Amino acid sequence: MSTQQFTQLPHKLLSVPGPVEVSDDVLLANAHPSMSHVSPAFAPVFGNCLRMLRQLLYTESGQPFIIAGSGTLGWDLVAANLIERDEKALVLNTGYFGDSFADCLETYGAKVTQVGAPVGGRPTVEQVEEALKKEQFKLLTFTHVDTSTGVLSDAKAIAETVRRVSPDTLIILDGVCSVASEEIRMDEWQIDAVVGASQKGISVPPGLSITALSQKALKVLESRKTPVASYFASYRRWLPIMESYEKGTPGYFATPSVNLIYALEASLKSIVAGPVSLEDRFRQHRDAAKRFRGEARQLGFETVATEDEACANGMTALYTPEGVAPPALIGALANRDITIAGGLHKDIKTKYIRFGHMGVSVVERPTDVTKVINALRESLAEVAPKSS
Amino acid sequence: MSTQQFTQLPHKLLSVPGPVEVSDDVLLANAHPSMSHVSPAFAPVFGNCLRMLRQLLYTESGQPFIIAGSGTLGWDLVAANLIERDEKALVLNTGYFGDSFADCLETYGAKVTQVGAPVGGRPTVEQVEEALKKEQFKLLTFTHVDTSTGVLSDAKAIAETVRRVSPDTLIILDGVCSVASEEIRMDEWQIDAVVGASQKGISVPPGLSITALSQKALKVLESRKTPVASYFASYRRWLPIMESYEKGTPGYFATPSVNLIYALEASLKSIVAGPVSLEDRFRQHRDAAKRFRGEARQLGFETVATEDEACANGMTALYTPEGVAPPALIGALANRDITIAGGLHKDIKTKYIRFGHMGVSVVERPTDVTKVINALRESLAEVAPKSS
């Protein structure tokens, strides 16, 4: 039994916006024999991951954190550490995940103002500027790619606006569905926190909360007037652990997800030190998304994102053509061994479908995207109402 | 390359009190091809895990929760959900993990009273009774096995005392280092919450917080006067997800650790439906611990736990003999490809070592324990001061 056959058992091609396909090397690393989290052999693996995350986020002074959890835990990390009860947060809303981040912030006592847009749209820079001028916000959050709508926010423009209009406001980029599929230049754009996860562009199985803080965010953490509002999600407790592992010395606060960190190391190596440069990686994602959208539109689908510049590059949400019910199409694709996702946004839930095209399926196996497009064409032909 | 060689790459035998050795089947499951967390194929796997956890904890009405995180997250789950600001908690302290649980409870605003004992001891039933009579506590916590001292609490006696003296007080069993290596009869003993993790007796890689609540605890959660003090660690948000997966229908709040849940299913199958009954499993752990202690004492080691009934069955903490420095002994064992752990309790940190003997290494490969004992004998002979 070869390595490849062994890890990649027959399975439906995963084309949802996370979890995504995982390479054999990474699955292999996830099957690493059990290791102590404080063993001298494991510490450098953890350290490598932290260093490679800095490369991926184009940051020198940013502090990455790898914590057992999911992307959602990153919201708690922000809400419990970077803002205090009754302080104000501005949430730019481009879908389900904006609502949820706002909900999380309110759980920890923040006063949330939201700037939204009709489904498929995104707040304009002018709207953001106007909101920032009305009140002083401790932090602003935006969903870089909202997994429910496939809407891409213009991270650079948002950050520029905040720095110009309200320089003290922390800029929080929710990158759960964008890290490693969209370019994020943390230092250049002056992003204060990136919230990510393992199972999207990074192409590792789910189970890791991956975040990074700027030095400015670390100072805000340090100078809190009230205690951090969580124990497990306390950046203060995790900071010395990350610093320690990066030096090659194990630290202990809570047991890290050892095997997933081996898997993360394997995947990050291929991302930041593989044959494809980071710049090319992001270009490949843009190209794949453009191709996918083009083909889908030719078939009669419309993107949920209302303009091309607001279409994510690692996923696409598509309204199905008139008379084509999403469940029928999802079923027809499943019969062709392809898994796609149904709707998530409450206002349009029954009218659209979602596809992932990120990570391994774009960079290492671009034929995955072709397979999905072909299967979509066949499935549509099968389930579309026949014109008489 | 055979399956076995493939997953169990050459590695040092892991004999720390978690993570523990993981079987090939479980590592294989952890390398499962990537799957959607909402796919029809994955939902029953999650559901099976929930049902098997009930069997493992001898409960019919208890509600298990499987959440991406570590054992420590379980403390936040208790502190953010089952007690409210300014309510009182009684923490029975048998080591490092009692201190930390108290710290976590205080983070969420609970008023904590601790009942401790000298290092290696445990509070007596009389002390517990006395504390419970002085004040009304919302909940009482105890560390079933404190990983820092190897002290086993008498869960049944503690629970009986609480039920008799203060029937409304919730009984919280921290079972991170005891679930699946010590018997826990949740229903019979009327335990209200069990806090566990994947990487100890359950013998899965780290990355899952595994907890269970009684119906009584669920009612307390339901009737809170103040909102749950966490977003990610909100049992209210997770409850419908667990109920949904158990019915075979995916739910979504935050992405579960799909691969680790495949691994959990594989391990729980061998635990609750394998050739060894649960009763025999716990007996094997008691026998292995007794053998290990006996051999170690013959070599001149003393257990940190001061009485035999207070010695854990899945791990042992040992004071090294006079003149034998723990780092030298740990190094000598590492040279024999065996990983053990150093001290963790601040008062005795430099004087003792810790061993794990649970899960796979006891039930499926009892020769592991023999190997460790033999290597300990050889290592001691190598590093002990020579008598002239």
B100 — phi, psi (to 5°)? -70, -40
Q: What is the DSSP letter of A182?
A: B
Q: What tokens appear for B253 in the block?
A: 């709040």
Task: Quick: pLDDT tens for A190-237.
Answer: 999 999 999 999 999 999 999 999 999 999 999 999 999 999 999 999
User: Is ipTM > 0.90 here?
Assistant: yes
Position B304 scores a pLDDT of 98
Q: Is the pLDDT of residue A297 over 90?
A: yes
Cβ distance of A255 and B19 shorter than 8 Å: yes
* Beta-strand pair A151-152/A139-143: unpaired
Nearest-neighbour CA in chain B from A12: distance (Å): 8
E-strand ranges in B57-98 read 63-68, 88-92
Q: How far apart are CA A272 and CA B303, in angstroms?
A: 48
Q: What tokens appear for B119 in the block?
A: 């290092």
Q: Predicted confidence band at B1 (pLDDT cuts at 50, 70, 90)?
A: very low
Q: Is the CATH code 3.30.70.360 the one for domain B24-273?
A: no
Task: Quick: pLDDT tens for A88-138.
Answer: 999 999 999 999 999 999 999 999 999 999 999 999 999 999 999 999 999
CB B85 within 8 A of CB B236: no
What is the pLDDT averaged over residues B362-381?
Answer: 96
Task: Quick: pLDDT tens for A30-61.
Answer: 999 999 999 999 999 999 999 999 999 999 99
E-strand ranges in B233-328 read 302-303, 315-319
For the domain A24-272, what is the CATH code?
Answer: 3.40.640.10
Task: Quick: pLDDT tens for B300-344.
Answer: 999 999 999 999 999 999 999 999 999 999 999 999 999 999 999
For the domain B3-20+276-383, what is the CATH code?
Answer: 3.90.1150.10
A365 touches chain B (CB under 8 A): no
* Start-to-end C-alpha separation, chain B: 52
Q: What is the DSSP letter of A245?
A: H
Task: Quick: pLDDT tens for B143-155.
Answer: 999 999 999 999 9
Q: Answer positive or negative: Cα dihedral of B229, A81, B210, A176.
A: positive
Q: How far apart are CA B205 and CA A108, in angstroms?
A: 31
Q: Is the pLDDT of residue B283 over 80?
A: yes
Q: Which of B327, B364, B58, B3 lies closest to B182 in space, CA to CA? A: B58
Q: What tokens appear for B100 in the block?
A: 């930390």
Mutual angle of helices A235-246 and A215-222, in 10-degree steps? 130
Q: What tokens appear for A96 in the block?
A: 């389900």
Q: Predicted confidence band at A388 (pLDDT cuts at 50, 70, 90)?
A: low
Query: Would you say B297 is a known binding-site residue?
Result: no
Report chain B residues whose CB lies below 8 A from the CB of A36.
Answer: 14, 16, 19, 339, 341
Q: How far apart are CA B92 and CA B90, in angstroms?
A: 7
Task: Quick: pLDDT tens for A259-293.
Answer: 999 999 999 999 999 999 999 999 999 999 999 99
* B75, B206, B344 ranked by CB distance to A256: nearest: B206
Position A9 scores a pLDDT of 75
For residue B280, the tally of other CB atoms under 10 A from its CB is: 12
* Dihedral angle over CA of B36, B40, B46, B47, nearest 10: 170
What is the pLDDT averaged over residues A338-354?
Answer: 97
Q: Predicted confidence band at B9 (pLDDT cuts at 50, 70, 90)?
A: confident
The mean of the pLDDT values for chain A is 96
A237 touches chain B (CB under 8 A): no
What is the pLDDT averaged over residues B236-248?
Answer: 98
* Torsion-angle region of A120 (φ positive above 0: left; ψ -120 to 50: alpha; else: beta): left
Q: Predicted confidence band at A1 (pLDDT cuts at 50, 70, 90)?
A: very low
Q: What is the DSSP letter of A153?
A: P
For residue B201, the tally of other CB atoms under 10 A from its CB is: 34
Cβ distance of B107 and A230 shorter than 8 Å: yes
Q: How far apart are CA B217 and CA A192, in angstroms?
A: 39
Task: Quick: pLDDT tens for B41-59.
Answer: 999 999 999 999 999 999 9
Please give the CATH topology (third level) of the domain spanning A3-20+277-383. Aspartate Aminotransferase, domain 1 (3.90.1150)
Q: How far apart are CA A177 and CA A88, in angstroms?
A: 25
Cβ distance of B205 and A258 shorter than 8 Å: yes
What is the pLDDT averaged over residues A166-170?
Answer: 98
State CA B239 to chain mean position distance. 22
Position A8 scores a pLDDT of 67
Q: What tokens appear for A117 in the block?
A: 């847009």
| Domain boundaries, given as residue ranges, for chain A | 3-20+277-383, 24-272
Q: What tokens appear for A179 in the block?
A: 């890290």
